[in-house]
Amino acid sequence: MLRINRETDYGVVILSAMAQSPAERFNAAQLAAAHGLPQPMVSKVMKQLVHAGLLRSFRGAKGGYGLAREPEAITVAEVIEALEGPIAFTECVKAGRDSCEHVDDCHASTTWARISAVVREALGAVNLAEMGQPAAASAALCSRQQLMGH
């Protein structure tokens, strides 16, 4: 089974919650408590998201964390890549064909690269504003996109 790691799951939850109030500042303890997540892990994830440029850190009495861009401008693909690295299903897709000792005998790497690109594109088409929508609004959005041919 392919799945994102726990840190990435927490990152998407945290950022989706923040996308509901994009102008607000949040702290790790507040987000951890609100979502039933371990505070040390939330702190770690938020620091990684700052390093990746998805969050901004503010110091002082009114400090905390805020989104670095509008929720519509931050994609799920960016969050995954910030916390896990490139979206690639095999090492040769991630590191390049030359990194594989079986490159001369392998005919699957081109297809894996294509699959990875399709998944990356799909994840890049979903933004934080959409992730934070209630299920009914999200289902309506999916239906609308299907009708439009997206």
Q: What tens digit of pLDDT does each residue of 82-132 get?
A: 999 988 877 665 555 555 565 566 677 778 888 889 999 999 999 999 987
Cα–Cα dist 18/101, whole Å: 44
User: pTM for the complete prediction?
Assistant: 0.80
Residue (of 149, 129, 147) closest to 138 by Cα position: 129
Q: Which three-class secondary structure state does DSSP give residue 56?
A: strand
In sequence order, the 6+-apart residues with CB closer than 8 A to the CB of 50 are: 56, 57, 65
Cα–Cα dist 140/132, whole Å: 14
Q: What tens digit of pLDDT does each residue of 25-77 get?
A: 999 999 999 999 999 999 999 999 999 999 999 998 878 999 999 999 999 99
In order of their start, the domains of the chain are 6-147 (1.10.10.10)
* Structure tokens that stand for 49 in this block: 């998201």
Query: Cα angle at 113 between 48 and 128, to 5 degrees?
Result: 40
More confident residue, 23 or 89: 23
Q: What tens digit of pLDDT does each residue of 10-22 get?
A: 999 999 999 999 9
Cα–Cα dist 65/68, whole Å: 9
Residue (of 51, 38, 50) closest to 9 by Cα position: 38
Q: Residue 7: what residue type?
A: E
Which run of H or E residues covers position 57?
A: strand 55-58
Side-chain-side CA neighbours of residue 19 (13 Å):
24
